[in-house]
Amino acid sequence: MKERLLLSRLAVSAVNTSTFKLAFLSAVLVCASGCPGVSEVNETYEIDVGTWDIKIERRFEERIMGETLFTLKSRPSATAKWLEVATFHADDPINIPRNNLKILGPSTAFFYLNRKFSVTTDAGRTWSIWNTYEDIRPACPYAAWIEMVHLSPDGTGNMVVHCPAHDVPDLRLFDTSD
């Protein structure tokens, strides 16, 4: 399978960007379920927040680009089933970025990495997910990533997103007072 993906990449290298995107997405879809190359969970970070739990699992993705995948999970009690919240990607093999997970109170927490930000205010029962690629695409059409997030328990805070397509090094994108 790796050989077929490599040949697909070489075959599209001389064509236009739209064709490349289509071929790349096709290659990803061919391997989306069951292809070898995604490792078992090899690192876990779990926090007991009192009445609920948060867990981040790390796997290595070797099928296409050698990414690291992080799966954020939560459960409302120690006896409940884990809810898979979101999967976050890193281009390099890194450890779980524990500093990106913040517990703000008994029912509020957030986690961010690269392009995604997730927050819960109901002890992990539901989460809001924000993705730079989807949510700010017209303002920043290329690879924007979250540099820093600061939220206070009262709901105020900000997020700085690096947007290399702009002349300014950082784009302050998110300021909230609620």
Report the pLDDT value the prediction gives residue 47, as an integer from 0 to 100: 96
* pLDDT score of 14 more than 70: no
Report the pLDDT value the prediction gives residue 11, as an integer from 0 to 100: 31
| Burial zone of 88 (CB within 10 Å; 0-12 exposed, 13-18 middle, 19+ buried) | buried
Nearest to residue 2, comparing CAs of 61, 69, 67, 63? 63
Nearest to residue 85, comparing CAs of 31, 47, 41, 129? 129
Distance, CA of 114 to CA of 153 (rounded, Å): 23
Determine the average pLDDT of the residues in 29-36: 48
Please enumerate in sequence order all residues whose Cβ is within 8 A of that of 64, keeping only pairs 6 or more positions apart, or say none: 5, 27, 28, 31
3 state DSSP class of 95 = coil
Given pLDDT bands bounded at 50, 70 and 90, which one contains residue 65? low
Determine the average pLDDT of the residues in 149-177: 75
The predicted-structure confidence for 76-92, as pLDDT tens digits, reads as follows 988 889 999 999 989 88
The answer to whether the pTM exceeds 0.85 is no
* pLDDT score of 167 more than 50: yes
The predicted-structure confidence for 129-160, as pLDDT tens digits, reads as follows 999 888 876 677 677 889 899 998 887 888 88
Beta strands in 35-97 (DSSP E): 43-48, 53-60, 68-75, 83-90
More confident residue, 121 or 8: 121
Q: What is the helix (H) or strand (E) element at residue 28, kind and residue range?
A: helix 17-30
Distance, CA of 124 to CA of 105 (rounded, Å): 12
Distance, CA of 61 to CA of 37 (rounded, Å): 6
